[in-house]
Amino acid sequence: MAIVGAGMSGLCMAAKLRQAGFDDLVVHESAGEVGGTWRDNTYPGLSCDVPARFYSYSFAPHAGWSRNFAPGAEIQRYFVGASADLGLRRHIRFDSEIARADWDGRRYRLRTTDGHTDHADVLIAATGILREPRLPDIEGLSSFAGAAFHSARWDHSVPLRGKRIAVIGTGSTGVQITSALAGVAKPLTLFQRTAQWILPLPQLPYSPVSRAALRVVPGLNRLSYRSYQHIMELVFGHAAVEPGWQRSAVAEVCRSYLRLAIRDPRLRAKLTPPDDPMCKRLIMSASFYPALRRRDVHLVTDSITRVEPAGIRTSDGRLHEVDVIVLATGFDAHAFLRPMELVGEHGQTLSDAWRDGPRGYRTVAVPGFPNFFTLIGPHSPIGNHSLIAIAETQADYVLGWLERIRSGSVSTVVPTAEATEEFNTALRSAMPSTVWTTGCDSWYLGADGVPELWPWTPAVHRRMLASPVLPHFQVT
Ligand code: N01
């Protein structure tokens, strides 16, 4: 078995395989360490906006989280620790980037970018979704005389204290960076194209007593995990996908927070989004609005016309002179697996199969590509939920097929085109009830403007993946 990627979902799959007694597995990781997005993102203020006691593997609870929303470096240490504690590191081939995988009718032939080859009966893609930085197409960016870098490629050699720093982008990343660098930069200028709704969830430290209690009584940790899961599913799980009290409540909290936290009507007008809360991915922060109230933080809403050696020129003709430009401009969320190429039955490539956008069977498999599975694949429930919980559901499902392959009752398995089409039709017809179609642009939308998300609750995802529906597959 070959797993591509040793990020959160690849480690999850490898751990499940090990627990089930599978030993013949290799995890190909293009970088030199595990962690995926948590390894790559090191920007100031990085933290997870899903509660830490829920954003952990259910099979590897961690009592030591320092805060309710864990800092990025702490999460990265958790994944490195879990990969060692669960005995996964000996299965990981670091600096091994798969360039191509070809199905030869029986198994996949893998080729790495440095020319190595390998074989796998089963191929599992755990390559993540937000890994390809999206650089803005702004004229003159390369002419800038200071330092300019994407948030996921932070240049830690660049001094920040007392510098004039520009942050472009107001997604979760830009908001966290702005909150962290307010008071460090002199001044910080935030360039906002579209205002975003903010839910004020504060960062709270966990007391040593509560951490010790969770360590001594593991049942408390499980209880905490389940409680967070229940609340997240009850509120955000429903709010995003269907109208109801959850959506109204989240919207009301966001609107009231803006009203109460920003008293200056001109600043409030600039910060009022044109769309409904949750249409774009909801941002959790109790420190962003306070940062914007500072005198040394400026919010610019005039559009950027170009970058010049000395700074950023906006449509009002003004040049904002800066020393550092941070591009918090997001990721290409639709570059599943890329740049790796996958070749399935009859020489069909994944690029061809996905010409009109990534489509899979129930987020875990693709017709035409036997013995190939995806974790956090197309249309996974990624809204404001714990992706770890989603990956666990998918890994358990994949494991079910692998048990059948191990027992000899199955040699190859691939979903039928009809079942995949039926699933995708149902998915599309459920989209109009979701908040993502209420009129905004976001990384959730595919090229055709339809959200590439799961339009039902996480519980429906669990139900759909509880066990394979055999007529949906071609099995030999
Ligand atoms: O990226 P984004 P992100 N000129 O795509 C703006 C996860 N995450 O890195 O809205 C000017 O959300 C763009 O403007 P607009 C989380 O899933 C999680 O912030 O398109 N501005 C927008 O404001 C999140 O959703 C955590 O008008 C330009 C911003 O850049 C996802 O990552 C923490 C521009 C991009 O926002 C992505 O978040 C951080 C241009 N040319 C991130 N191009 C957790 O806590 C783009 N923008 C788990």
The secondary structure of 11-72 as a DSSP string is HHHHHHHHHTT----EEE-SSSSS-THHHH---TT-B-SS-TTTSS-TTS--TT-SBSS-BH
Task: Answer yes or no: is the C-beta of 172 below 6 A from any ligand 1 atom.
Answer: yes
Task: Identify the weakest region by mean pLDDT among 12-21, 128-137, 263-272.
Answer: 128-137
Same fold, 2-132+332-475 and 141-197+247-327: yes
Quote the percentage of the chain above a pLDDT of 70: 100
Cα(45) to centroid of ligand 1, in Å?
15
Cα(18) to centroid of ligand 1, in Å?
36
CA distance 101 to 369: 11
What's the CATH architecture for 2-132+332-475? 3-Layer(bba) Sandwich (3.50)
Residue pLDDT, tens place only, 58-103: 999 999 999 999 999 999 999 999 999 999 999 999 999 999 999 9
For the cut 90, the answer to whether the pLDDT of residue 429 exceeds it is: yes
* Stretch 185-192: mean pLDDT: 98
Task: Answer yes or no: is the C-beta of 128 below 6 A from any ligand 1 atom.
Answer: no
Nearest CA owner, ligand 1 atom 36: 171
CA distance 219 to 440: 43
CA distance 298 to 166: 9
Task: Answer yes or no: is the C-beta of 328 below 6 A from any ligand 1 atom.
Answer: yes
Task: Answer yes or no: is the C-beta of 293 below 6 A from any ligand 1 atom.
Answer: no
Q: How many C-beta neighbours within 10 Å does residue 232 have? A: 20
Ligand 1 probe mutation, 137, 193, 232, most atoms within 8 A of CB: 193
Q: What is the SS3 assignment for 348?
A: coil
Cα(415) to centroid of ligand 1, in Å?
34
* Stretch 309-318: mean pLDDT: 98
Contact 85, 60 (CB under 8 A): yes
Closest by alpha carbon to 27, among 76, 99, 88?
A: 88
CA distance 335 to 26: 23
Contact 50, 384 (CB under 8 A): yes
What does R_g of the chain's alpha carbons equal in angstroms?
Answer: 23
Q: What is the predicted pLDDT for the residue at 35?
A: 98
Nearest CA owner, ligand 1 atom 48: 48
Q: Kindly give the number of the ligand 1 atom that is closest to the alpha carbon of 174.
A: 19
For residue 71, is the peptide bond before it cis, meaning its omega torsion is within 30 degrees of 0? no
* Locus of tokens 């909801």: 282
**Residue 185's pLDDT band (cuts 50, 70, 90):** very high
Q: Kindly give the number of the ligand 1 atom that is closest to the alpha carbon of 175.
A: 19
**Residue 123's pLDDT band (cuts 50, 70, 90):** very high
CA-to-CA separations, 260 to 43, 200, 263, 282, in angstroms, rounded:
29, 11, 6, 18
Residue 429 CB burial class (10 angstroms; 0-12, 13-18, ≥19) = exposed
* Stretch 151-178: mean pLDDT: 98
Q: Tell me the residue type at 83.
A: S
* Stretch 127-151: mean pLDDT: 96
Task: Answer yes or no: is the C-beta of 403 below 6 A from any ligand 1 atom.
Answer: no
CA distance 468 to 397: 8
H-helix or E-strand containing 83? helix 72-85
- Residue 452 dihedral angles phi and psi, to the nearest 5°: -100, 50
pTM: 0.96
Nearest CA owner, ligand 1 atom 17: 281
Cα(315) to centroid of ligand 1, in Å?
22
Q: What is the predicted pLDDT for the residue at 383?
A: 76
Ligand 1 probe mutation, 172, 282, 376, most atoms within 8 A of CB: 172
Cα(100) to centroid of ligand 1, in Å?
30
Residue pLDDT, tens place only, 333-342: 888 888 899 9
More confident residue, 447 or 81: 81
Task: Answer yes or no: is the C-beta of 41 below 6 A from any ligand 1 atom.
Answer: no
Q: What is the predicted pLDDT for the residue at 131?
A: 87
Nearest CA owner, ligand 1 atom 6: 169
Task: Answer yes or no: is the C-beta of 13 below 6 A from any ligand 1 atom.
Answer: no
Cα(185) to centroid of ligand 1, in Å?
21
Domain ranges of the chain: 2-132+332-475, 141-197+247-327
Nearest CA owner, ligand 1 atom 10: 194
CATH class, domain 141-197+247-327, is: alpha beta
Within 217-347, where are the H helices?
218-232, 238-239, 245-261, 265-271, 288-292
The strand pair at 98-103 and 188-191 is best described as unpaired
